[in-house]
Amino acid sequence: MKADILLFTQTMHSLLSSFLPLQSALAVCRKILAGKAEKKFTDKILRKVNEGKKLSDALSEEKLFPPLYVPLVSIGEESGTLPQVFGHLAAYLNGKRNMKRKIIQALLYPALVLATAAAVVLILTAFVLPRLEGIFEAFTNSSENIETQLNRIKTGSFASTIVLFGITAILATCLAARRLNAKAAIAIDSAILRLPVIKNFAMAMQMHDFSFAMKLLTQTHFPLLQSLTYAKNVLSNIRIQRAVESACKSIACGKDAGKAFEDEKVFPEYLTVWIKIAEENGEAAEAFSQIFNYYQNESESLLAGIAQAAEPVFILITGAVIIAVIARFVIPVFNLLGAL
């Protein structure tokens, strides 16, 4: 069982904000956290800190944290703003958790519909059809019509099963290819950004995380280029991540940040306009706060729209599945019974 990183972060924020030294805060955190995994994790971190390691180094060895976490803790140690950093990180992790819950709630109904459809087809193919074959076996020699209809039922059931397994196999192959092959990951993520409706949701979610990371980094007075170098790691879409890397190279070569992002042809206009504004007035933290607020509202609006649209759409899908089962299985079975 993994430790609850959000709970650890919130507790550390409260303790450090109460002016406890780091080691004392870790010791108290170990005592007040109820979960065994959290106690074990905190005890391990405390031992490493007592051995002379920096907190950020101790945390980096655990491989439990999102990409932004350890760099921000390191910044907090260097700048003396560790309590504020833990506060920002707690807000970030809490926002991510709430967003995941909303996505799961929006996708739960469609997943149940698809699982039900798959279960119905499998049950018909694996259990019902073999029993029907036994019932009608005695009549297949005397009636070609019965044998023909029975074969049609078998063909339809197996075809439906193959289609379901084929779709599952394609999805699994895409996920595996994205994880194992960099070129495949870029191709798949680029395709996602071209799909109607999905591209808007994917971009809003990516910009939400990216702008939040940039807001935290620029608030700690990190230069824009260094902030971009850290913040790109929170992007899960490889195509967008590579675009940020390319923009960083252009900025390092002297190009204006707004122009560098605009030339990538990936980022929404809202982002590039605010980056240009940040360059003009030197208020990068304020600009990325505005960007974050916009995409937070945008992502919540899109999630609400998906949740509202999911129910009627998948009621129609459920109806289509029921009609298909009736047409492919129930009606032919009644026809066979009528032919006896």
91 lies in the same domain as 57: no
**The predicted structure's pLDDT at residue 164:** 66
Q: Which of 165, 161, 162, 169 is nearest to 122 (CA)?
A: 161
**The predicted structure's pLDDT at residue 187:** 86
323 lies in the same domain as 177: yes
Is the full-model pTM beyond 0.95? no
Number of structural domains in the chain:
2
Cβ neighbours for 108, distance < 8 A, ≥ 6 positions apart: none
80 lies in the same domain as 194: yes
Here the tokens at position 206 are 């990516």
317 lies in the same domain as 242: yes
The residue among 14, 30, 65 that closes a domain is: 65
Instruction: Find the helix packing angle between 22-32 and 36-50, rounded to 10°.
Output: 160
260 lies in the same domain as 291: yes
The residue among 49, 65, 81 that closes a domain is: 65
183 lies in the same domain as 203: yes
**The predicted structure's pLDDT at residue 301:** 84
pLDDT by residue, tens only, the chain of 340 residues: 466 888 999 999 999 998 899 999 999 998 888 788 888 889 999 999 999 999 988 998 887 888 778 878 887 887 788 888 899 888 888 877 887 787 777 667 667 776 776 677 667 666 766 666 666 555 555 445 555 665 666 676 667 667 767 777 887 787 777 777 778 888 888 888 888 878 888 899 899 889 988 888 888 777 888 888 888 888 889 999 999 999 999 999 989 999 999 999 899 999 999 999 988 888 888 899 999 999 988 887 887 777 676 667 766 776 776 676 666 666 666 666 665 5
124 lies in the same domain as 103: yes
- Measure the CA–CA gap between 33 and 141, rounded to whole angstroms: 73
114 lies in the same domain as 208: yes
DSSP helix/strand/coil, 77: helix
The residue among 37, 65, 93 that closes a domain is: 65
237 lies in the same domain as 300: yes
- Measure the CA–CA gap between 25 and 292, rounded to whole angstroms: 31
Using alpha carbons, list the distances in angstroms from residue 66 to 6, 32, 213, 245, 306: 11, 24, 11, 19, 26
**The predicted structure's pLDDT at residue 47:** 92
| Domain coverage including residue 125 | 71-340
231 lies in the same domain as 295: yes
22 lies in the same domain as 114: no
56 lies in the same domain as 168: no
- Measure the CA–CA gap between 316 and 109, rounded to whole angstroms: 13
